[in-house]
Amino acid sequence: MKPKFRHVALIGKYQATTSCAGGALSRSALEEIAHFLHAQGCEVVFEHDTAQNMGIFGYPMLKVSEIGAQCDLCLVVGGDGTMLGIGRQLAHFGVPLIGINQGRLGFITDIPFNGFASTLAPMLRGEFEEDHRSLMQGKVMRDGVSVFDALAMNDVVVNRGATAGMVELRVEVDGHFVANQRADGMIIATPTGSTAYALSAGGPLLHPSIPGWVLVPIAPHTLSNRPIVLANATEIAIEIVSGRDVSANFDMQSLASLMHGDRIVVTRSKHHVRFLHPKGWSYFDTLREKLHWNEGVA
């Protein structure tokens, strides 16, 4: 049977090249996946920097933007951080992504490298579950002018410097004043990001199908300042009222040294990321695996 996806790109986390346990990537693993795809009838290309840094030759090389314009499918081999970066870059192309993890399974790179062939083969024939993840469009406004903007799939985080005290933040939703909060910072997280920093800060888990965000204060001065779930059709604005060395991070894309009066404005992006999972995949299976639910249950 011919594959549903004919033109497939491979992208790997080439910054670390030791094997397996720490989530790093080996050249042999990428080549094994490429050989498998070729045997399935797929035309295989490598992302340019992946091939160059891993020393892989013999396959066409494309930049990420060219992959978005030319390929039917992208396989990302690495961890969730690698997938976040590629997902943001490919979102406006609509190319579906499959994540293969060589180390510990991730929340969005959920196919283990061991035994990948038996999982990928039916997916290439069209047997998969499709999962759409929303993105946030964030920008930093200074004196009415945007000085930084970026997409985020996980979260937008405003926080204090390492040696500074609390910051004071004015929070608005759709232009309505919510509160002035003194805290170590504030997180605006998508459902995808609800299992990341927001969870560590005490926020709730949001199922990916929920069209919402969670607003989570980081170590608030007033304990009644609790996480709140908001519709993602809203506009959230966080203004820096006081504090030193305040920074804004958009999935770790950072703008440091914010000034008093700067406003971090977050709206829903018109783009989303398409993830493909094996047939029968469930978000709750991932939660059980990653959060170690049911451990100790006979």
pLDDT of residue 17: 43
DSSP state of 92: G
In angstroms, the CA 265 to CA 44 distance is 40
Provide the whole-model pTM. Answer: 0.91
Q: Is residue 69 part of a domain?
A: yes
- pLDDT 10s digits, 225-257: 999 999 999 999 999 999 989 999 999 898 988
| Structural domain boundaries, residue 252 | 135-269
Q: Is residue 289 part of a domain?
A: no
Query: Are 179 and 237 in a shared domain?
Result: yes
In angstroms, the CA 87 to CA 85 distance is 5
Q: Is residue 101 part of a domain?
A: yes
Q: What is the mean pLDDT of residues 42-67?
A: 95
- pLDDT 10s digits, 76-98: 998 899 999 999 999 999 999 99
**Which residues does the annotation mark as catalytic?**
80
Give me the chain's average pLDDT, please: 92
In angstroms, the CA 127 to CA 261 distance is 51
Query: Are 94 and 159 in a shared domain?
Result: no
More confident residue, 43 or 26: 43
pLDDT of residue 144: 95
Query: Are 89 and 209 in a shared domain?
Result: no
Query: Are 145 and 63 in a shared domain?
Result: no
pLDDT of residue 23: 40
Query: Are 139 and 262 in a shared domain?
Result: yes
In angstroms, the CA 39 to CA 122 distance is 14
Query: Are 209 and 167 in a shared domain?
Result: yes
From 102, 126, 150, give the residue that closes a domain.
Answer: 126
Chain centroid to CA 78: 13
pLDDT of residue 259: 96
Burial call 75-87: b when 16+ CB within 10 Å, e when fewer: bbbbbbbbbbbbb
More confident residue, 164 or 256: 256
Query: What are the percentages of helix, strand and coil residues in the chain, rounded to 5?
Result: 25, 40, 40
In angstroms, the CA 77 to CA 88 distance is 16
From 126, 147, 182, give the residue that closes a domain.
Answer: 126
In angstroms, the CA 92 to CA 68 distance is 8
Query: Are 52 and 169 in a shared domain?
Result: no
Q: Which of 64, 57, 46, 58 is CA-nearest to residue 8?
A: 46
Q: Is residue 297 part of a domain?
A: no
Instruction: State the Cα angle at 108 between 27 and 130, rounded to 5°.
Output: 110
- Confidence band of 297 (pLDDT split at 50, 70, 90): low
Q: Is residue 275 part of a domain?
A: no
Q: Is residue 214 part of a domain?
A: yes
In angstroms, the CA 104 to CA 42 distance is 27
Q: Which helix or strand (DSSP H or E) is residue 181 part of? A: strand 176-183
Q: Please tell me whether residue 23 adopts helix, strand or coil conformation.
A: coil
Query: Are 36 and 141 in a shared domain?
Result: no
In angstroms, the CA 143 to CA 129 distance is 45
Q: What is the mean pLDDT of residues 117-124?
A: 96
Could you give the dihedral angle defined by the CA atoms of residues 58, 30, 37 and 32, in that order, rounded to the nearest 10 degrees? 100
Query: Are 207 and 88 in a shared domain?
Result: no
Q: Is residue 203 part of a domain?
A: yes
Backbone angles phi, psi at 15, to 5 degrees: -65, -25
Structural domain count, the chain: 2
Query: Are 83 and 155 in a shared domain?
Result: no
From 126, 144, 179, give the residue that closes a domain.
Answer: 126
In angstroms, the CA 164 to CA 95 distance is 42
- pLDDT 10s digits, 27-54: 899 999 999 999 999 999 999 999 999 9
